[in-house]
């Protein structure tokens, strides 16, 4: 009888490392083979997706936060038969919007010129629900996480995001059990985008987390973990 545990792959977002998933990964490791992937070398969605597929077993459950959700969609595009279930957290599906490059450029340029610490608070605080931005116990680990990155990493990840494919047509072809989750106060990737995503993915489950911004896994770790446990209980169609 096989004792091999089911695998969950958790994908990190922009300027995030394993800390963004720590609460959920620590809890789930008791029952699952949990692998967390951050992207510090790749500068395209295709390269990021290829890295995930190279690091994952033949079949796995896949969850992506923010940029990681966009990578997750590219993994599904490339190898849908390998993804047993999919979770998309605080993310999106459209190609880059007009003017997005110009909006992102000033922070990237400052990070390259002055170091990543120079933009950490400017980047991170708007990601949080307004009521959470003065919570030192939340903010300090996020700033420390950003500080472990660098200007060149930020620039590479931004190139990947700006070159992302439009996944609109892909959504309707997703057949595995899918969770779409978002903070109610996510101003970066708002609830209405997630409602549209959930409506386009057949049979998907939508969860909106209150008192929560874009950094849902860290702002409301228990609520996100509960949603993931429900998702992992969904029967796989693969």
Which helix (H) or strand (E) segment is 68 a member of? helix 67-78
Q: What torsion do the CA atoms of 115, 119, 123, 128 make, to the nearest 10 degrees?
A: 110
Position 73 in a domain: yes
Strand partners, 205: 179
Among the listed residues 18, 31, 55, 19, the one whose alpha carbon sits nearest the alpha carbon of residue 228: 31
Position 132 in a domain: no
Position 111 in a domain: no
Cα-based angle 142, 97, 118 (whole degrees, multiple of 5): 30
Q: Is the pTM of this model over 0.85?
A: yes
Q: pLDDT tens string for the chain (238 positions)?
A: 456 899 999 999 999 999 999 999 999 999 999 999 999 999 999 999 999 999 999 999 999 999 999 999 999 999 999 999 999 999 999 999 999 999 999 999 999 999 999 999 999 999 999 999 999 999 999 999 999 999 999 999 999 999 999 999 999 999 999 999 999 999 999 999 999 999 999 999 999 999 999 999 999 999 999 999 999 998 765 5
Which CATH number fits the domain that encloses residue 222?
A: 3.40.50.1820
* Cα separation of the two ends of the chain: 21
DSSP, res 211: S
- As a whole number of angstroms, the distance between CA 222 and CA 238 comes to 28
Range of the domain at 50: 7-97+156-233
Position 194 in a domain: yes
- As a whole number of angstroms, the distance between CA 44 and CA 164 comes to 7
Overall domain count for the chain: 1
């Amino acid at each position: 009888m096989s004792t091999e545990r089911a695998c969950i792959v958790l994908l990190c977002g922009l300027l995030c490392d394993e800390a963004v998933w720590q609460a959920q990964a620590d809890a789930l490791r008791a029952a699952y083979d949990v692998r967390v992937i951050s992207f510090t070398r790749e500068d395209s969605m295709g390269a990021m997706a290829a890295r995930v597929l190279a690091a994952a077993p033949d079949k796995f459950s896949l969850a992506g936060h923010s940029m990681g959700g966009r990578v997750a969609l590219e993994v599904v595009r490339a190898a849908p038969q390998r993804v047993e279930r999919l979770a998309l957290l605080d993310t999106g599906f459209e190609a880059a919007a007009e003017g997005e490059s110009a909006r992102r450029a000033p922070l990237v340029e400052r990070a390259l010129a002055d170091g990543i610490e120079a933009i950490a608070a400017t980047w991170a605080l708007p990601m949080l629900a307004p009521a959470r931005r003065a919570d030192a116990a939340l903010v300090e680990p996020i700033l420390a996480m950003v500080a472990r990155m660098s200007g060149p990493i930020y620039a590479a990840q931004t190139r990947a995001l700006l070159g992302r494919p439009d996944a609109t047509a892909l959504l309707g072809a997703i057949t595995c059990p899918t969770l779409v989750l978002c903070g109610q106060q996510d101003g970066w990737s708002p609830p209405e985008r997630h409602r549209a995503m959930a409506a386009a993915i057949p049979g998907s489950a939508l969860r909106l987390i209150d008192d929560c911004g874009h950094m849902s896994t860290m702002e409301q770790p228990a609520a996100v973990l509960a949603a993931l446990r429900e998702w992992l209980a969904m029967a796989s169609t693969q």
